[in-house]
Chain A
């Protein structure tokens, strides 16, 4: 999927993550800030990249500010931000690329 415009999802509350996607320049430029970076940095990055990969996002600047979110929340925030950047809120592929 193409990142058509900047979009954001999530909050800075505990157990949540705020994900911002912006149009990129051909690659994934990922920055992660997390309150649990030492113990979960690797997993957070893997989860974000996996979600972006599933959504076939190949060019984007992605900023994640994580406050200890579980993987299911991280995925939800990435997906929401990506679909918002495409103004899509209906007939989404639940169980397809969103899984």
Chain B
């Protein structure tokens, strides 16, 4: 059986530098779905060790009040990732984000070390989840094999900065350079039944552009977005919050399907739309989102 948290709600995944005690103290106050404690890019090369001690004690001693604790570890091409994995597992991180993933093999390599660490530190095998960041053309092209690589894998996230460099372009602000990757990834993720997150948006002075981007990736099917600042959280949550109309419709769909199933009816109409069992999961997802957003008052 899969990990019970594998498919939890992850609209907002906020990066935090492990080296900054002031940041990791109480990010739950902003109510992101997940925080991503960063051992990689945000931490200077000569402070990689220091960040691990901070991470360990934060994981062990700070009550993050139900916010998922993801840790971004250093890439497999660095000398740091093995110790990163040990500290994550020992500290009890919920999920490890693998940087610069290019293949299923990369995920397997990490998985092997995670399993070893779970044994070493007496954690239940399989308790640590994984997510993969795709940061290169190769990684994006291998999205499907990455998505299908492990039962621990919750999904894939696009890392736009490195990816556009590899593409030999830049972040243009129009999104045109990321179109292919976004499409490829979301299709692969859905095919494999895992989640998919969009890349960060770093210009905090252009909140309106950010909002547009969030609307777009929601329409594309993404589950959420990596964030760099708590100011972005509310906007994402607002956009991912279903409308009352959507909620009422989803409620009807769920109720009708459950009722009609008992009567042996497979296809029927709700508000003039033809509905069958294929709508069930989507409707359930809408209700779950509505609940998480604090706007659902029904009894489902």
Contacts and interface: CB of A to CB of B under 8 A. Distances in A.
Q: Do chains A and B touch in the complex (CB under 8 A)?
A: yes
Interface of A: 9-10, 13-16, 69-73, 75-77, 79-80, 83-84, 89-92, 94-95, 98-99
A73 B58 CA distance: 8
A98 B52 CA distance: 11
Most buried by B among A9, A71, A95: A95
A73 B49 contact: no
Interface stretch (B83-91, B137-145, B188-196, B205-213): B83-91
Nearest to B91: A94
Contacts of B61: 71-72
Contact of B53 (A14, A70, A71, A76): A76
Leading 6 A-B pairs by shortest Cβ distance: A94-B90, A76-B53, A72-B57, A15-B22, A73-B21, A72-B61
Contacts of B164: none
A87 to B, nearest CB: 10
Contact of B121 (A13, A69, A80, A95): A95
Nearest to B62: A72
Nearest to A17: B21
Given A16-B21, A73-B21, A83 B49 contact: yes
A50 to B, nearest CB: 13
A89 B83 contact: yes
Contacts of B291: none
Contacts, number: 64
Nearest to B18: A76
Nearest to B90: A94
Name the residue among A76, A80, A83, A98 with the largest chain B CB count within 10 angstroms.
A76
Interface in B28-67: 48-50, 52-54, 56-58, 60-62
A76 B49 contact: no
B25 interface: yes
B54 A73 contact: yes
B50 A94 contact: no
B7 interface: no
Interface in B112-170: 121
Nearest to B61: A72
Contact of A76 (B57, B86, B121): B57
Nearest to B122: A95
A76 B82 contact: no
Contacts of A79: 53
23 contacts: A14-B22, A16-B20, A16-B22, A69-B21, A72-B58, A72-B60, A72-B62, A73-B54, A75-B53, A75-B57, A76-B53, A76-B54, A80-B53, A84-B49, A89-B48, A89-B49, A91-B86, A92-B52, A92-B87, A94-B56, A94-B86, A94-B91, A99-B60
Contacts of A84: 49
Contacts of B25: 15, 70
Contacts of B20: 13, 16
Nearest to B22: A15
